[in-house]
Amino acid sequence: MIRANTSRGLSLSAALLATVVIGVCAVIATACSQTPFVDEPDAHRGVSETSLSPLESKILVQNELRDTTNLIGGEWELQLAGISYPCTTARGNEGAYYSALMRFVGTPSTTHLTDIADSVAARWKSLGYSIERAAYSDDMRIVMGRNTGGGRLSFDMDPWEILLMNDGPCVPTDYDKLASEDERELERTSTPDPLDP
């Protein structure tokens, strides 16, 4: 089950949290992997140009998160959705990507920690993502996936929480115009369903 947290203030705080989470993952991966994911300005630049529209990309981000939470089970809280960020497309054009962050509600069970991480990695691989994994302690698992369009998925599980983040592919668009449209939509809708674009 998914609970939507639609507070604008909390969404902005969640955005900062998401940046920290990805930054920590990048630092850890840099130390422990030969091919780390690094969150640099062009980190969302894919190796091939996507044909998705911004709306299609937004829906893709949400559907992939739904799919992963259904796979893991339990109750989830959507903390960040419907916000676009600038990026550079594979061909060097101006673009944007959508990001969403979900947190598992309650304390996760670590009894089947490896099995859960295995299932997540297998599902993302079946969706066309290249996979990197890390296990820096017996009770922590990180799975990261990236597709050719620059989209990135991350799964971070420890005894205290599970975080899921999806940064969609970088799609060609006028970012300033798209960001203005997103802002107006957030202001217009007092209690939106972030998983229903």
Range of the domain at 105: 2-188
Alpha-carbon distance of 76 to 105, in angstroms, equals 5
Query: What pLDDT, on the 0 to 100 scale, is given for residue 53?
Result: 93
Number of other CB atoms surrounding residue 118 within 10 Å: 14
pLDDT tens by residue, the chain, 197 residues: 555 554 433 333 344 344 434 443 443 343 333 333 444 546 667 778 888 999 999 999 999 999 999 999 989 998 887 788 999 888 888 999 999 999 998 877 767 888 899 999 999 999 999 999 987 788 889 999 999 888 999 999 988 889 999 999 999 999 999 999 888 887 776 544 545 55
pLDDT value of position 5: 52
Tokens of 185: 């939509």
Reported as type and span, the H/E element at residue 146 is strand 140-146
Report pLDDT for 80.
81
Instruction: Tell me whether residue 197 is in a domain.
Output: no
* pLDDT at residue number 106: 81
- In order of 30, 74, 103, 139, the CA distances from 160 in angstroms are 24, 15, 11, 10
Q: What pLDDT does 4 receive?
A: 53
Split into its structural domains, the chain has a count of: 1
Q: Tell me, what amino acid is at 12? A: L
Q: What is the CATH number of the domain that holds 138?
A: 3.30.2030
pLDDT of residue 2: 54
Give me the pLDDT at residue 158, please.
Answer: 87
Helices 54-72 and 113-126: crossing angle in degrees, nearest 10, is: 150
Q: Does 184 fall in a domain? A: yes
From CA 14, how far away is CA 80, in angstroms rounded? 6
Bridge-partner residues for 85, per DSSP? 97
Q: Check residue 35 and give its pLDDT.
A: 35
Annotate 11-77 with DSSP letters as a single string.
HHHHHHHHHHHHHHHHHHHHHH-SS-----TTTT--SS-----HHHHHHHHHHHHHHHHHHH-S-EE
| pLDDT reported for residue 27 | 38
Q: Is residue 195 one of the residues assigned to a domain? A: no
Structure tokens at 54: 């911004």
Rounded-to-integer distance, Cα 21 and Cα 24, Å: 5
Query: Residue 50: its pLDDT value, please?
Result: 85
Closest listed residue to residue 97, CA positions, set 61, 132, 48: 61
